[in-house]
Homo-oligomer: A and B are copies of this chain.
Amino acid sequence: MTPGPLAHTHFAIEVLAILAFALAGLIEGARRQLDVVGLFASAGLTAFGGGTLRDVLLDRRPFFWVEHATWLWVLLLLCAATGLFLRERHLSLTERAMQWPDAVGLGLFAAGGTQLALDLAMPPIVAVLMGVVTAVGGGMLRDIVLNEVPRALHDHRPYALCAFVGGWVLVAAQYLGATPEMALVLAAVSTFALRAAAVLTGWELPRWNPGDKA
């Protein structure tokens, strides 16, 4: 990354995305009455679980949170602040407000994860899946640890699908000759736009029809 206004913007957006994911984990943890250890685990899994799962699958080191260990301190501070300042009446407000940075995070994580797998010469379908794992895996791991069916698998709202489409946008853009930066931006923006449209319109995936047609 060359320093400059673009790099600063990129950095600011990344910080926003990680914070959004960590906050989502904290709120989920507070709701489930976890203690401070649970809050940390819930926030950490949501923010870094997807990228870590991807890196384990791709056999890639160091993890983000090893290279940037400062983030672990940020998480610890967030957990303390949650215990001190977050109240029940904040929850629904915070959750609604957080849909937007969460959608930004979805786009960034999906684009970044796909790019990273392509750099390791993965086939396109695998790279796109790695992007989805990066974007959605953290929340899924958190749901599994907190003993729930991962929301991404059964709420019939496009979430992982937006990341999936965004990954293909990246693959297509690169194939058509776009620069890496351009491809990343296109993928992140289209993922975000799809998710935003899904949130605003309440669009639902078609349900499996258990009955007979005739």
Q: Which residues of A contact B (CB under 8 A)?
A: 30, 32-39, 41-42, 52, 56-57, 59, 61, 63, 65-66, 69, 72-73, 82-83, 86-89, 122-123, 125-126, 129, 140, 144-150, 152-156, 159-161, 205-213
Contact = CB atoms under 8 A, between A and B. Distances in A.
A85 to B, nearest CB: 10
Contacts of A87: 209-213
Give 4 closest A-B pairs by Cβ, nearest first.
A38-B153, A88-B210, A69-B123, A35-B156
A125 to B, nearest CB: 5
18 contacts: A33-B154, A33-B208, A34-B153, A35-B205, A37-B152, A37-B159, A38-B153, A38-B154, A41-B153, A57-B63, A59-B59, A69-B123, A69-B126, A73-B125, A144-B144, A144-B145, A146-B153, A147-B147
A126 B65 contact: yes
A153 B35 contact: yes
A175 B125 CA distance: 41
A212 B37 CA distance: 23
A58 B87 CA distance: 37
A52 B52 CA distance: 16
A83 B123 contact: no
Contacts of A36: 161, 205
Contacts of A129: 72
A92 to B, nearest CB: 13
Contacts of A122: 66
A66 B35 contact: no
Given A33-B154, A140-B145, 18 more contacts: A32-B149, A35-B153, A35-B207, A35-B208, A36-B205, A37-B160, A38-B152, A38-B153, A42-B153, A57-B63, A66-B122, A69-B123, A73-B125, A89-B212, A144-B144, A144-B145, A146-B153, A147-B147
